[in-house]
Structures are given as C-alpha cells and as structure tokens.
Amino acid sequence: MRFRAKIVDLACLNHFSRVINTIAKLAKTCTLCLTDSKLYFILSDKVANGGVSMWCELCQGNFFDEFQMEGAAAEHNEIYLELVPENLSRALKTAQNAKTVKIKLTNKHCPCLRIAVELPSLSSSSRIVTHDIPVGVIPRRLWNEFREPSVPDFDVSIYLPMLKTMKSVVERMKNLSNSIVIEANLSGEMNLKIETDLVSVSTHFKDLGNPPWASEDGCQSSSQGRDLESMAEARIDIKKLQQLLAGQQVNPTKALCNIVSKRVVHFILLHEDVSLQYFIPALA
C-alpha cells in the first residue's frame, strides 16, 4: 500500500485547505478513501454521529500536481484510512505560503499521513515543517460500509436559499430551540420553523426553484404526480444543520436539498471540483 502526492500551486493548496476545513467542521473522525482519480471523505451513519452521514468527492487532478497510489491489492486499487480531519486542517494552516506540500503514507511506528510543508526561505536550503497525522488503515472486509449513498426516493427536491441568509436564520433559531422543521414544496417554497413553549418562529422563502431530476428507468419517483403546493417536511437536529451551513466557506455553485417526509433531508452542495452530500435524519 503506497500513497504519495504533491501540491505546488498556491491556489490549489488554498482550495484544498478550505475543503479540509469544511470537512473538519462536519466530522470529528471520518474515512478518507483514495483511488487513482479521486479522494473521498466519508462519514457513514452511525448512532455515534447522531445518524448523519456525509459523502464528499474531489477529483485529485484538480488539486494535486503529482498523485500516485497503490492499493492493498491489484483488483482493488483503493486505500481506506480513518483520520481526524481537524489534524489535517491544522497541518495545512502552516502551509499558507508554502512552496510545496507533499503528502505521503508512512508506517514508521504506526500508520501516518506525513504532511511535509516546504516553506520559503532566504537561504539556499529550504525550511520543511513535517506533520505526522496518525491514521487507521481500514481492512478490506469493512470497505462495504463506505459505498456511495444512493439518492433517496424523495418527496420534494428544492434549491436552497442564499446560504448567508439561511445561515443567519438557523443560527438565531439555534438559540431558541433544539430542533427545526424544514418543509418545502414543488412550487419553490421553503419554510424553516421552530416552536417551543416560549416562542415560535417561521421563515418563508419563495421562488427558490425545484431542480429537474431525470427519472431512472422512466418510472415514477415519489415526487411525480405530487400536488405542487403540498409541503414535505422533516424535523431535524438544528445543530447539525447549523454545522453544515457554518462550514461552508465559499458559496457553492449549486445547493439543493431532497426531503423525504419525516425521514431524512439530503443536502447536495456542488462546487466546481468538489461535491458534498450530507444526510440529516429526521428526529423521532
């Protein structure tokens, strides 16, 4: 099992750092899957995470100038590592003005991702700061736990409102309640609602637009034939939603959510070279 990669371009480095910062805000521990073309940051839905799951996909070619990996076995050219993204985020903080950043999988005393940051120096020899981030190697027999989640059979799919506004509203609502109701319909309307003994607050967004989903096999999805005004709703943990919104450092190109009434809300945030999917289950 081998992995080594190098980033030389400062813009790519900053972009990569921003992605890692976002992941670090969403998960304490997660799985990093490396293939020869892509990187995946995965959180599978366990009771320990409160049932949320995450699937973040990056094309390595958009970030790395060099990227070589060799999986556990020839037919399965993949590497699965468990890591704490905050460690990676902190290591990359020292690389803000770096000339190069090299990442390598090592196993000196225990498996680590070695981040070597080459910093500009006045003398002829370069200054290198090295971070060793401990990782857990995930054995092949467990790889099935980390498959890409399928898009759920949703009742309503709708584009999200401006994230800045949604973030402000959810942050204030978080002061007032532990749970929030997201409801939306196929007429581009979305409401965020909280209700407690002290106060009830509802925010109404209009004209958001509903993304067109091509139905597979031509068969009807739950959303087809649905009354346009009828709301699909789910009550979710407000902290999880606030974490998702707070972690967005750059405005996505496309942001939408799929609501399965009373079951789950599936968020999809697309940037040019990164796609992030986040599932928040409905509260009982």
Binding site for other proteins (CB under 8 A): 161-162, 164-165, 168-169, 172-173, 175-176, 197-207
Based on its alpha-carbon atoms, the radius of gyration of the chain, rounded to whole angstroms, reads 21
Written as six digits, the tokens of 56 are: 């973040």
Q: How far is CA 93 from CA 84, 90, 131, in A?
A: 15, 5, 11
Give dist(CA 121, CA 116) in Å, integer: 15
Shortest Å, Cβ 192 to other proteins: 9
Shortest Å, Cβ 81 to other proteins: 39
State whether the Cα torsion 149-152-156-157 is positive or negative.
positive
Give dist(CA 282, CA 174) in Å, integer: 16
Shortest Å, Cβ 159 to other proteins: 14
Give dist(CA 143, CA 139) in Å, integer: 7
Neighbouring CB atoms inside 10 A of 216's CB total 8
Task: Output 25 or 167, the one with its CB closest to other proteins.
Answer: 167
Task: Output 141 or 204, the one with its CB closest to other proteins.
Answer: 204
Task: Output 201 or 246, the one with its CB closest to other proteins.
Answer: 201
The DSSP code for 139 is P
- 3-class state of residue 262 by DSSP: coil
Shortest Å, Cβ 167 to other proteins: 8
Task: Output 61 or 209, the one with its CB closest to other proteins.
Answer: 209
Task: Output 133 or 245, the one with its CB closest to other proteins.
Answer: 245
Return the residue matching tokens 């599936």.
Answer: 266
CA-based end-to-end distance of the chain: 43
Shortest Å, Cβ 89 to other proteins: 26
Task: Output 46 or 172, the one with its CB closest to other proteins.
Answer: 172
Shortest Å, Cβ 266 to other proteins: 23
Task: Output 87 or 203, the one with its CB closest to other proteins.
Answer: 203
Distance of CA 141 to the CA centre of its chain: 24
CB 100 within 8 A of CB 118: yes
The DSSP code for 73 is B
Shortest Å, Cβ 276 to other proteins: 24
